[in-house]
Amino acid sequence: MDEANNKPVMRGAVLGLGMIGRHHARILASTPQVDFAGAVDPSGDVHGAVIDPDLVFASVDELLASGPIDFAVVAVPTEEHLAAVRQITQAGASVLVEKPIAASAAEGLELIEIVEAAGVKGAVGHVERCNPALIELRKRINDGQLGELFLIVTERVGPFPDRIRDVGVVKDLATHDLDLVRWLGGSPIASLAGQTQNRMGRPHEDLVLINGALTSGVSFNSIVDWLSPTKVRRTRVLGDRGMLVADTLTADLTFYENGAVGSEWGTTQSLRGVSEGDVTRYAIARREPLRVQLDRFLDLLAGAEDSQVVTLAEGLETLISAEAVLASAASGQTVAPSPAGS
């Protein structure tokens, strides 16, 4: 028991010590509620993430030989998620799987069945939901600050991280946006149209534009690429009282209020449109998103009713939407993301 938090201590490990796994290892090793069992990576600890070299293992079997674990953070390349989850859940471990849940919706569905059959718990690491600016943005939307929502726009562009070989920008990066628009808008994606480009000559696309609508009627638009010479991470939500803009690189949130007297979308405004009003930048407590995500996952393991994790089913829904984007880009048609297996 972690006396300070009054929660059970869980023994956890990390699978994959790459760009994101190294951060998971650091966080697990420094969380009082976690007994860090170590990390598995056949390439070793190239980033020097694990202080005790005896806690770096070349295989899951070696890790398990050192003792049983309660959970694992699965941070291997996306195309290896399914095999890693199969192996570690057979040992009775729950899983926090990095996003996207798997390389394809079919594999994502299989992954969910494996987790259920093993009788363990699972969640997906759509860590943007733990970004302080986006948490605050969503709270303000739900409190009614923007009034009726019209539009959600996300921008996630920057240079190519050379290590990603198994999926394109739609599954690797735009899954963040497809998860966010639904989570912020509080409604599933009804339809979308995607346009992709492949400028780097890799097997997969490296730029995507997505236009879509939630079932609530809110429109959304996402621009995502690996081609831009600077990194931008911006989410803009527009409603009838103004606009909230989150910068998730700096965790800043700014409110642009409609200038019209009364801030209501009355008869006069509908004729003239809005004018510029007050601009407020909020001071937000900045907690590391991966820590927030781990806390939520530990709540899930401790049996909390509303742990706020991204469920495996939500992770699959997002991947189905990503595949719908690719299908739309290939066909030139607007499509409705359909449930797995249909």
Contacting residues toward ligand NAD, per CB under 6 A? 15-21, 40-43, 75-78, 80, 84, 98-99, 125, 127, 163, 172
Nearer to ligand NAD by Cβ, of 31 and 131: the residue is: 131
Residue with smaller CB distance to ligand NAD, 18 or 277: 18
- HSE of 256, CA atoms in CB hemisphere, 13 A: 11
Of 77 and 147, nearer to ligand NAD (C-beta) is 77
- Minimum Å gap between C-beta 101 and ligand NAD is 9
Please say which residue, 156 or 241, places its beta carbon nearer to ligand NAD.
Answer: 156
Cα dist from 231 to 155, 205, 236, whole Å: 10, 18, 16
Instruction: Please report which residue ranges of the chain form alpha helices under DSSP H.
Output: 21-29, 60-65, 81-90, 105-118, 132-142, 169, 175-185, 267-272, 289-301, 312-331
Nearer to ligand NAD, 265 or 297 (CB): 297
How many residues are recorded in the chain? 342
Closest approach of Cβ 270 to ligand NAD, in Å? 40
Q: Which residue in 66, 121, 113 sits closest to 92, CA to CA?
A: 121
Q: How far is the CB of 135 from ligand NAD (least distance, A)?
A: 16
Alpha-carbon distance 256 to 235, whole Å?
13
Neighbouring residues of 259: CB distance < 8 A, sequence distance ≥ 6:
274, 275, 276, 277, 278
CB of 199 to ligand NAD, least distance (A): 21
Output the smallest distance, CB 50 to ligand NAD, in A.
Answer: 12
Is the Cβ–Cβ distance between 214 and 237 less than 8 Å?
A: no
Residue 315 φ/ψ region, left for φ over 0, alpha for ψ in the -120 to 50 degree band, beta for the rest = alpha
Question: Does residue 15 contact residue 73 with C-beta atoms inside 8 Å?
Answer: yes
Identify the residue whose tokens are 């290896």. 80
Tell me the β-bridge partners of 255: 244, 280
> How near is the Cβ of 330 to ligand NAD at its closest, in Å?
22
Least distance in angstroms from the C-beta of 46 to ligand NAD? 7
Q: 172 vs 257, which CB is nearer to ligand NAD?
A: 172
Closest CB 331 distance from ligand NAD, rounded Å: 26
Find the distance separating the first CA and the last CA of the chain, reported in whole Å: 45
For ligand NAD, which is the closer residue by CB, 12 or 239? 12
Q: How, if at all, do strands 207-214 and 189-197 pair? A: antiparallel
The sign of the torsion formed by the CA atoms of 273, 276, 277, 282 equals positive
Residue nearest to ligand NAD (CB): 18
Residue 235 or 269: the one with the smaller Cβ distance to ligand NAD is 235
